[in-house]
Chains A and B, each alone.
Chain A
Amino acid sequence: MGTQLVMYEEEFTKINAVCDRLTKDANAKVVFLVDKNGQLISSAGQTQNIDTTSLASLTAGNVAAMGGLAKLIGENEFPHQFHEGAKDSLYMTIVGSRVVLVVIFDNRTSLGLVRLRIKKASDELTKIFESLVKKADGPGIGSPFAEISDDDIDNLFSE
C-alpha cells in the first residue's frame, strides 16, 4: 500500500494557485481537489455554502465505485465523469491516479471550456504531485508525531 500523503507548504501554495486559476479560467463556481481516500486537499471559488468534508468523502466513494465498475468491464478506471444537473453540473477528473479534481459549474460557462481548462490544470497538478511524492520519499523532516508523548494523546480525550 502507498505511503501516507504528506503536504508541504511549497506544493500546497502551488496547488491552491492552480485551483484558483482554474476556477477563473473555466468560469466555474467551485473547484475541489480531493485525495482518492476522501480527504479534501484544496478548494477554490464559492465554497461557503458547501459542506466540503462531505463532498470530499462522497467524491472518493463515487470514484472508488466507478473504478470498481471499470475493472469489472476490463477498464483500468474511468478518468472523467460528467454529471449534468438542472442548474449546476459537475465534472470529475482523476489526476495522477491519486487525486480527483472536481469542478462545479453552471450555464455561465460551457462543458467545452471547462474540459479544456481542466486538461491544463490537470497536467500542472500531475507535476506538482510527482515532486511531492519524491519529497516524501526523501530523507524528509520526519513525522511531526515522533515527539508526542502518551500524555499528549491522552489529553485529546479528556472531556
Chain B
Amino acid sequence: MSFINYSSREINCKIVYYGPGLCGKTTNLQYIYNKTAADTKGKLISLSTETDRTLFFDFLPLSLGEIRGFKTRFHLYTVPGQVFYDASRKLILKGVDGVVFVADSQVERMEANIESLENLRINLAEQGYDLNKLPYVIQYNKRDLPNALSVAELRQSLNPRSIPDFEAVAPTGVGVFDTLKAVAKLVLTELKKGG
C-alpha cells in the first residue's frame, strides 16, 4: 500500500525481502546500504539477536529520484526467516507493495525454500493479497557455493510462473541491484495502472 502525498509531492512504497533463515536477506540490505550514496539513503535499522539473526526486521529507506515531479522513496524491509518468528513475518507484510523472495541455492536448503515460499503465500492470503497479483521477483542467492543446485532445478520448484528471477552472491553484490531494480520497476508499473 503505497503512500502518495500530493502536497509534498512524494510517493513511498514498501518492498519486503522474504525467504528462509540464513538465505541472505539481511546481507542484501547491507550491500545496498554500503553501495548507495549518503544523500539517497537513510539509516539501516536492524532489530536482530546477539548472533545477528533478524529478530523483527531490517529497515532501509532509499530515495530513487523523481518521476514527473514526485520524489520516489522505497522502504526496504526484511523479515526474520526462522520458522518460529511467523507472527512477526505477518506484521512486516502489512501494506507491502512488492516482494523479493530470496532463495538459498544450497541443495540442503531446498525444502526450507519451498516451505518459506508456501508460508509467504499463506501469510499474504491472510491479509487479502494474492502473490500471483503482487509485484514479485525471485533471487537465487549463494551461487558461489559448491553445493548450489542448478538454476534450472531451482526454477522448476520455485518459479513455475517464470516471473523475473536473478542469480546472486549477496556479500559481493552480484545480482543484488538487479533484483532491487526489477522489483522497484514492477511496483512503479503497478502504480501506473492505478493499483
Footprint of B on A, CB under 8 Å?
1-9, 12-13, 35-39, 41, 51, 53-54, 57-58, 61, 64-65, 67-68, 141-148, 150, 152-157
Q: CA A150 – CA B181 in complex, angstroms?
A: 13
Are A37's CB and B1's CB within 8 A? yes
Are B4's CB and A144's CB within 8 A? yes
A7 touching B5 in the complex, CB below 8 Å, given contacts A61-B91, A145-B188, A145-B191: yes
B193 to chain A: closest CB distance in Å?
8
- Verify if B8 is at the interface (C-beta below 8 Å from A): yes
- A-facing mask of B1-20, CB < 8 A → 1, else 0? 11111111001101000000
Footprint of A on B, CB under 8 Å?
1-8, 11-12, 14, 42-43, 45, 47, 56-57, 59, 61, 64-65, 67-68, 70, 72, 75, 87-88, 90-92, 94-95, 127-129, 181, 184-185, 188-189, 191-192, 194
Are B3's CB and A9's CB within 8 A? no
A144 touching B45 in the complex, CB below 8 Å, given contacts A153-B189, A156-B65: no
B131 to chain A: closest CB distance in Å?
13
Q: CA A51 – CA B42 in complex, angstroms?
A: 8
A-B contact pairs, 18 of them (CB 8 A): A5-B2, A7-B4, A7-B5, A9-B7, A39-B3, A39-B12, A39-B75, A53-B43, A54-B45, A61-B56, A61-B57, A145-B67, A145-B188, A146-B192, A148-B68, A148-B192, A150-B189, A153-B189
A9 touching B6 in the complex, CB below 8 Å, given contacts A37-B95, A156-B72: yes
Are B7's CB and A147's CB within 8 A? no
Q: Which residues of B contact A8 (CB under 8 A)?
A: 6-7
Are A36's CB and B94's CB within 8 A? yes
A11 to chain B: closest CB distance in Å?
8
Prevailing SS type, chain B contact patch? mixed
Are A145's CB and B56's CB within 8 A? no
Q: Which residues of B contact A145 (CB under 8 A)?
A: 11, 67-68, 70, 188, 191-192, 194
Are B45's CB and A58's CB within 8 A? yes
Q: CA A146 – CA B192 in complex, angstroms?
A: 4
Option from B7, B11, B56, B72 in Cβ contact (under 8 Å) with A65: B56
Q: CA A5 – CA B185 in complex, angstroms?
A: 20
Q: Which residues of B contact A54 (CB under 8 A)?
A: 42-43, 45, 59, 61
Q: Which residues of A contact B2 (CB under 8 A)?
A: 4-5
A37 touching B94 in the complex, CB below 8 Å, given contacts A54-B42, A148-B68: yes
B137 to chain A: closest CB distance in Å?
14
A5 to chain B: closest CB distance in Å?
4
Q: Which residues of B contact A12 (CB under 8 A)?
A: 5-8
Give the nearest-CB partner of A8 in chain B: B6
A87 to chain B: closest CB distance in Å?
22
Q: Which residues of B contact A155 (CB under 8 A)?
A: 65
B29 to chain A: closest CB distance in Å?
13
Are B91's CB and A144's CB within 8 A? no
A28 to chain B: closest CB distance in Å?
23
Q: CA A70 – CA B8 in complex, angstroms?
A: 35
- Given A57-B61, A61-B47, 19 other A-B contacts at CB below 8 A? A3-B1, A7-B4, A7-B6, A9-B6, A9-B7, A12-B5, A35-B95, A38-B14, A54-B43, A54-B45, A54-B61, A57-B59, A143-B4, A143-B192, A144-B6, A144-B11, A145-B11, A145-B70, A156-B65
